[in-house]
Chain A
Amino acid sequence: MTDDGPAVRARAASVFEAGQVLSTSTLAERALWLSDAASTLARQADGERDALSEATGLSIPMVEWATRTTLETITDNAMLALAQNARQGVDRALDPIGLLSVVLAGNVFTASVRGIVVPLLFGVPVLVKASSRETLFPAMLRNALRSTDSRLGAAMDVVAFPGGDAEAEAALVELAEAVSVYGSDETIEAIAARLASTPLIAHGHGVSVAYCGSHAVRGAHLGDTISELSLDICAYDQRGCLSPQLVFVEEAPDLSAMDFAERLAKEGLEPLSRTLPRGPLPVSVGAAQAQWRGIAEVEGTLFRGDTYSVSVREPQPIRWSPGFRNITVAGVRGLDEALQAMQPIGSNLKCVGTDSASMPELQARLTESPTLSAYACKTGTMQTPALDAPADAHPIWHALFRN
């Protein structure tokens, strides 16, 4: 599917007009429609799991997990609660914009859901430019919306065109009152260059890490920590910006970083490699993986299976993993040392997964940090953000309302 400039322009105009009709519905109606559409999409995705697996490069069990955990967050109650939060957060009467254009990346196929559903909840029509690598899921979402309610369905459409198509890019954004871009810094720069005063919501390069405090690695908690962390690592094959690439572990007399890494490999990643198998490894990533694993092996700190590996390093300097279930564990004395090691990541740090006991202090320290804008969340949920979780240091409804 490829659209040229005139086709994109026509779809933008159509969606824009549909948004005016959609705005006559109530928020409660839209919340209900979206909840129904999510249920419909869940059923469709189940039937299309082979195609989704092929389109996304994820295994079928991973596709099933991803669609389930994403779509089950789209409930009418959750959306009404989100709307309530938005009203309080915006501190004025909500005046939705006329059109949001969204540029999607292909690494986490369900990332489009929040970015599309939330604007529609507020009556903002959405024109989506799908990733050239993954058009199937956005199209399925559009079809689910259309089958639920014609007004809702008409207010969202999907276009696809190769990067660098200047006319199509211009057509994508010319009616938009805000543009949300997921992808590389180059993609964001290309779109930004086309915008004058239109707000750009950039979801650019980013990484996430995890911090396991002493509570998380003590006694019976250790098993849960390893299970949760393993899920965070394996979800979407560690391709997303919410995937932990590095785990800081508070070392204890009876648990070194090496011990933790070995248990993470054997008790966490190995079982998940069977129940949530990794997808095929792109050879380009494989080249980086071979180098990364080789260095760790030379250093004598590698625990590996067929489709995962764990390396143990000092907290600084950071040696980033190539993703695809290759994770670094770094031993620290405590949260201070972990935060110190995170400083160089700066605004590229998106999320820090942690245990319940460490959460309050970590969140407070992140909030007061002048360099870090990441949010903290519980390990095991890093890849399943709540519907109203912030995105890139902004509320999820950021830029959806006129000033």
Chain B
Amino acid sequence: MTARAALKGRIEAQIARFEAGQRVDARVRDELIEDLAAWQATRIPEYGRLQRHGTWPPALPTDVFRFRRIAAHPEAEDLRVFRSSGTTSSERSVHVYRDLSLYDFAARAAARHMLFPDVDKMRLVMLAPHEDEARDSSLEYMLARFAEWFGTECTWVWRHGALDIELLAKQLRDAEASGQPVAVLGTSFAFVHAEDGLRDRRFELPPGSRIMQTGGYKGRSREVDRGVLLEAIHARYGVAAPRIINEFGATELSSQLYDTTLREHIYGSAGPRRLWVPPWVRATPVDPDTLHPVEGESVGILRIDDTANLDSVCCIQTADLARRLDDGIVVLGRASGATPRGCSLAADQALGAQ
């Protein structure tokens, strides 16, 4: 058995234990992260150059995915290439895969647990393009798999680069009329377009319905505060606020984090809105100078060690601000645009000059 195959087996075993309802030991996960990082450092020169700070393996900054191909396999073996949104190549992260089975395994397990814990399949409405229209988007890939795994039927209402408002309205009216719950999934900017396009049309989606929004705006719609958008979606679709959840994903990651409120609402518990971290993932706010974990609920920059990133780099340093809350994480948003540096160029503008 190759080293890769052995590592892959250990990753799959973690996820399988979770799917089987068994506890995944954090120490086992941490050992796996160490071994994965060590293997990746020998195969990915860029990662191998990073120095360890503290006890954990070094974390690769997400920006590196914009400039370098980060992979433990040769380019000829690329099966799929995902790119983040952006208008120029230097703004787009690139994450290559030689094998999507781990991605699928992790995505299905997490979504089953947090988004569809109470139903096998249900009707889906996607405020996003079909993957055929966006072959390089990991989100569209994931939503297409959701349609296969969790959808009784699925309608894609973002077509040819725009939201089909009338099709969306029809799907929502049909759901109301049928009394069958529906899951509406899409990007935050698509929900903003829907807010603008639906005008005074409001809906009362059947009990059991749920909404998942994800991602930022990146200039693709007006920007709306997260709380304001949550309230607007609640008022527009007639879905209780706890059943409207945020998914946190990134092109550089193979696993996703979900708001806890839907699952807690379904099972009758209640807690603060926070992101659930899959047990095969370690999400940690770290101090920006030392890169060591911050104490308690202090704000740090979010490091994510995603064991499902087998063929790239497991340990990822994001630019998102985050803090721990109870057993989860609260992501406070991307930091660079808010840099209070007076007359110096803001970091995003500066980096944009490359």
Q: Which of A239, A287, A307, A320 contacts B301, CB < 8 Å?
A: A287
Tally the A-B contacts, defined by beta carbons under 8 Å.
146
**Docked-complex contact B50 and A298, CB < 8 angstroms:** yes
For residues 268 through 325 of chain B, which have their beta carbon under 8 Å from a beta carbon of chain A?
A: 287-289, 291, 299-301, 317-321
Given A287-B335, A323-B344, 20 more pairs with CB closer than 8 A: A105-B343, A107-B343, A182-B342, A183-B343, A203-B343, A205-B343, A206-B343, A207-B345, A240-B342, A283-B300, A287-B319, A288-B347, A291-B62, A291-B317, A291-B319, A294-B317, A298-B49, A298-B64, A298-B68, A348-B345
A 268-296 binary contact with B (CB < 8 Å = 1; else 0): 00000000000001111111111111110
**Docked-complex contact A291 and B340, CB < 8 angstroms:** no
**Docked-complex contact B343 and A204, CB < 8 angstroms:** yes
Q: A107 — nearest CB in chain B belongs to which residue?
A: B342
Measured CA separation A307–B288 after assembly (Å): 11
Given A294-B50, A298-B50, A307-B289: A184 and B335 interface contact (C-beta under 8 Å): no
Measured CA separation A105–B340 after assembly (Å): 9
Number of A interface residues at 8 Å Cβ cutoff, please give it: 49
Measured CA separation A295–B317 after assembly (Å): 11
Let me know if B350 is at the binding interface, CB within 8 A: yes
| Minimum C-beta distance from B52 to chain A (A) | 11
Main secondary structure of the interface of A (DSSP, over half): loop
| Minimum C-beta distance from B131 to chain A (A) | 29
Greatest chain A CB density within 10 A among B49, B343, B349 is at B343
Q: B residues within 8 A CB of A286?
A: 287-289, 301, 335
Given A283-B299, A287-B319: A320 and B351 interface contact (C-beta under 8 Å): yes
Query: 9 nearest interchain CB pairs?
Result: A286-B288, A107-B342, A320-B350, A294-B61, A287-B335, A105-B342, A241-B343, A284-B335, A288-B347
A 286-312 binary contact with B (CB < 8 Å = 1; else 0): 111111111101111000001100000
**Docked-complex contact B319 and A317, CB < 8 angstroms:** no
B 114-137 binary contact with A (CB < 8 Å = 1; else 0): 000000000000000000000000
**Docked-complex contact B351 and A290, CB < 8 angstroms:** no
| Minimum C-beta distance from B240 to chain A (A) | 33
**Docked-complex contact A318 and B353, CB < 8 angstroms:** yes
Let me know if B56 is at the binding interface, CB within 8 A: no
Measured CA separation A317–B334 after assembly (Å): 24
**Docked-complex contact B340 and A106, CB < 8 angstroms:** yes
